[in-house]
Structure 1
Amino acid sequence: MATTPKGPASYFPSIEAKYGRSIEEWKAVLRDAGSSAHKELVELLKSEHGFGHGHANALVQHHLHPEKWAAA
């Protein structure tokens, strides 16, 4: 039985569907941005890629703190 994603990962299916790239592709965008500031990365996704605040926040949170969201 598949486990339902928790936290930011629960947004991933809708992020991929709405913004047309895989989560790994979006994480590459964040890595390439060269910043580790949460607010800056959220603003990048919103201003340059048309993300809504909730989707941008979830993706950045997961990107910056993968250890917090690792599968148990």
Structure 2
Amino acid sequence: MTDKAKGPASYFPSIEAKYGRPIAEWQSLIRARQPAKHMELVAFLKQEHGMGHGHANALVAATLAEG
């Protein structure tokens, strides 16, 4: 039995499928824009990559939580 992803990571499979890049690549883009505020990073993903708000927010939250 496999554990189902919870929290922001639960969006990762649909993010990869919809936007065609692995999560590690998205996280690298986010880290490259540090330091920045959470919502600035969300806006970057939405404006520059056409990502929806929920997906962008989940990616930023998970990436920032890693430290």
Partner of 1:35: 35
Structure 1 runs of 4+ aligned residues shifted over 2 Å read: none
Pairing 1:6-17 to 2, within 5 Å after superposition: 6-17=6-17
Alignment of 1:1-72 (within 5 A): 1-66=1-66
TM-score, length of structure 2 as denominator length = 0.93
Shift of 1:35: 2.7
Inter-partner Cα distance in structure 2 for 1:23 and 1:59? 8
Q: Which runs of 5+ in 2 are unaligned?
A: none
TM-score when normalising by structure 1: 0.87
**Alignment RMSD:** 1.2
Task: Check the 8 A contact 1:36/1:64 in 2, yes or no.
Answer: no
Provide structure 1 residue ranges, at least 5 long, that are not aligned to the other structure: 68-72
Shift of 1:30: 0.3
Q: Deviations over 1:16-48 (max 9, x none)?
A: 001110000000000111233101000000000
Amino acid at match of 2:23: I
